[in-house]
A and B are shown apart, each in its own frame.
Chain A
């Protein structure tokens, strides 16, 4: 039995509606922002309950745009985590600031108890990540930020459809970044992203900066960039948005089955706590596994496409050499990278496939 990680051919097997809209787009020649992008921005703003949404070319661009909008620049420090995708930290550096890491907790999220210790006179913002689609303790993070007069940018790239009690992920911070990369719960057929905010001024600045600093066709108020969301991807996103709640619900059902099966394999497997009120998107279904590398090889040979997100924490990447961190600085993150594994748990995984994964993992440990 194959358990595929990539579900895109299944998700887009019926693409007639997208293709029809695409042909309309060509007729309209609205290739630079325009009504398709605006329409999606409005739909997503309603979906998460945010006042403004600004479509961007990628999730990375969204992070850079949000950080620049809240005023992060050279000389500033931004607090984030070493367990995230490279772009989170790349965006801080792109904005001209210095990344400062704090460790993760047992849910693989920013450890809120370490934030205060990392704040200096240069700290401008906190950049918590909804890693895997599970939310960090956003109310606590906002409390610390307010206490110290800091801004918050949520990296909500994996979080569309997630929430903490009744409040949606990506609506806590001052400006929040989203990705629509193909393997996200809200996805397009290529790269895409957006920033959400309730602040009119930030939204206005971001709209100008993402389109060459143009206030109109002939006037550039500031040196800007081209970070526009493509209309074609806005069309795809508008269609997929209708399915996000169902997708996330399906993934939660799968996660529940995996959680139960894997908990029975303790102490070989360590499933993260799932606190009440945190509705995860399971963009990545992750747990820690004893003898991870051998297990993954075994599963991959069985055509179970398990993956690692990611094997090296960012403070130990070549790119981070100038930040002066060393091995042992963030122990939870380092252990995480050695033990973590992602299992396919997306909306197209069947009950049989889930059981097959669980029995395969059980088989692996039974031979130890």
Chain B
């Protein structure tokens, strides 16, 4: 038996017909750019997140980039984020000409709210907390600090669609939030895609113009900008996926908690904190001798991954920021212990049992 890291076909089998029908409807409509499905998906997604506005984009990176621009962040500004995320959380800050300023995380893999304040300078304009792995960041504390210093909060919700804190979904906490709808995400398109949410009416207006060449209308260009539109075809497919998201998430959670029971004697399993609703976009354990364990699992047909082995502040791209490895000791430590195990709707109990058995065997050796 093999346990692949993803298993796309299983998940999509029951809705295959609906997807094909949607695909054909868009083809026949002849309307492939910013059509009715984009508009409907944006409305449905805003409602899902409990946020007033949503706007579809070409991918999560473009979303972060254009939100930062719409917030007016640029050359000379600083933006605070965590160093253990996917590269886009920081690269988009650099892309608008601002400086990424990293703050260490806690064992929940999310930014440590108690270390944010000391990183704030007169140039700080925004905080980008990441809801990493599908677990919400400490938004109450983060919002308090942001209010105190008059900073924007941009939630990087790329991994956490549907996650909740105190019953309120991510994407409704900050000034704006960026979601990735990449095929490996809990809610996904069949190619690159993204969406943003915001409660700020000015920001959504600016954003909608900026994702479409700065065009106020077909013939009036208000500012030079980019093309970061969500494909109509992907929007049609996403609308169908969105209807399935809650039960997919429930299945994911059941499997995650089952993993927790099986694995807690051997590794540190991911927790769900008080008032949190964790969506387990990735199921990340903290393991001793991680590299050997990963190799052992892979040799035995279990595709374990590491997200991510090199923290952003140690990437060659970040050399200009002059960080040292131990500037963020928790991140540094965690980067040696984190391991992502296969978790998705359709993963069987037998597959989970095999993973547990292998991990148990490894640590008994």
User: Contact residues of A with B, CB < 8 Å?
Assistant: 6-9, 12-13, 15, 19, 22, 25-27, 29, 31-32, 57-61, 64, 85-87, 89-90, 92-94, 181-182, 188-191, 212-214, 218-226, 228, 230-233, 308, 310-312, 314, 317-319
Contacts and interface: CB of A to CB of B under 8 A. Distances in A.
B182 interface: yes
Contact of A15 (B24, B218, B223): B24
A12 B182 contact: no
B214 A90 contact: yes
Contact of B224 (A86, A191, A214, A311): A86
Interface centre among B58, B65, B191, B316 (most CB of A within 10 A): B191
Contacts of B312: 220
Given A29-B6, A190-B233, A212-B87, A58 B58 contact: yes
Given A31-B191, A213-B91, A90 B213 contact: yes
Interface of B is mostly: mixed
Interface residues of B, number: 61
Contacts, number: 169
Contacts of A31: 182-184, 190-192
B220 A87 contact: no
A190 B232 contact: yes
Interface of B: 6, 8-9, 12, 20, 23-24, 26-33, 58-62, 65, 87-88, 90-91, 94-95, 182-184, 190-192, 213-216, 218-227, 229, 231-234, 306, 308-310, 312, 315-318
A15 B6 CA distance: 29
B365 to A, nearest CB: 27
Contact of A90 (B6, B59, B62, B226): B226
B240 to A, nearest CB: 13
Given A212-B61, A220-B315, A224-B91, A230 B191 contact: yes
Given A26-B8, A212-B87, A230-B231, A86 B215 contact: yes
Contacts of B88: 212, 226
B27 A87 contact: no
8 contacts: A8-B30, A57-B192, A58-B229, A90-B224, A223-B90, A226-B58, A226-B88, A319-B223
Given A8-B31, A29-B8, A319-B221, 6 more contacts: A8-B32, A86-B213, A86-B215, A94-B224, A191-B33, A317-B220
